[in-house]
Structure formats: structure tokens, C-alpha cells
A = this chain, B = another copy of it.
Amino acid sequence: MADAETLDRLYKAILDRRGADPETSYTAKLFQRGRAKIAQKLGEEAVETVIEAMAGDREKLAEESADLLYHLLVLWADAGLRPKDVYDVLAAREGTSGIAEKAQRNKVSGKKGK
């Protein structure tokens, strides 16, 4: 039941709630508050994920990871990005491995000047 398509279903549910009443839907409220607030929530959930990763509680890490993914999907929806757009980026990299993988990563890093 809970498989990879859970993310796609959740994304569709998020789109559906976009027009809902912000008083009763947390998702609708997020959209109403706008991009900066959604991005802030994503950042905060990432911080909590980092904390739980260091604290070492696997169950809490799963909970925070779910919060992180949910807010990432809301951010995508707000930016007009579909999950498939991101899967495409991942799939394009997926074939790489070994040295090829490393070269790919270096190219990415180089591009961003890290």
C-alpha cells in the first residue's frame, strides 16, 4: 500500500488542498502564506532531520523525514514543479557509477563553484 507512489498520491492531495479553506487545511494555509514561509518550513524540517540523524533514533528520523518530504512536495507545487521533473534529474544521473559517478559529482560541484 505504502510504496513509491505514495509520494505521487501525496503530491496530488497537496494540489487538491490548494484551494481548500486555510482555516481547516494546514496545506492550504501554507500556500496562502507563500513561498518564503514554505521554504522556511522546509529548512526547519531539514534541521530537525539533521538533529534526529545525529541523535540516532530511527523512528523519529522516519517521522522527520516524512515532514521534510511533505514540505518539499508543497514547495514543488508552489513553484510549479512536478515530482516527475525531479525524478528525471535523478534518473539522468542514475546510470552513472564508479568513476563516472565521481566525475559527474565533480562537474555538478564545479558548476556551483563549491
Chain A positions near chain B (C-beta within 8 angstroms): 1-10, 13, 17, 20-21, 24-27, 33, 35-40, 42-44, 46-51, 53-56, 58, 61-63, 65-70, 72, 75-76, 79-81, 83-94, 97-99, 101-102, 105, 108, 112-114
Contact = CB atoms under 8 A, between A and B. Distances in A.
A50 B6 CA distance: 24
B53 A84 contact: no
Nearest to A60: B112
7 contacts: A2-B84, A2-B87, A2-B88, A43-B44, A61-B79, A69-B86, A70-B93
Given A79-B61, A86-B65, A102-B25, A42 B36 contact: no
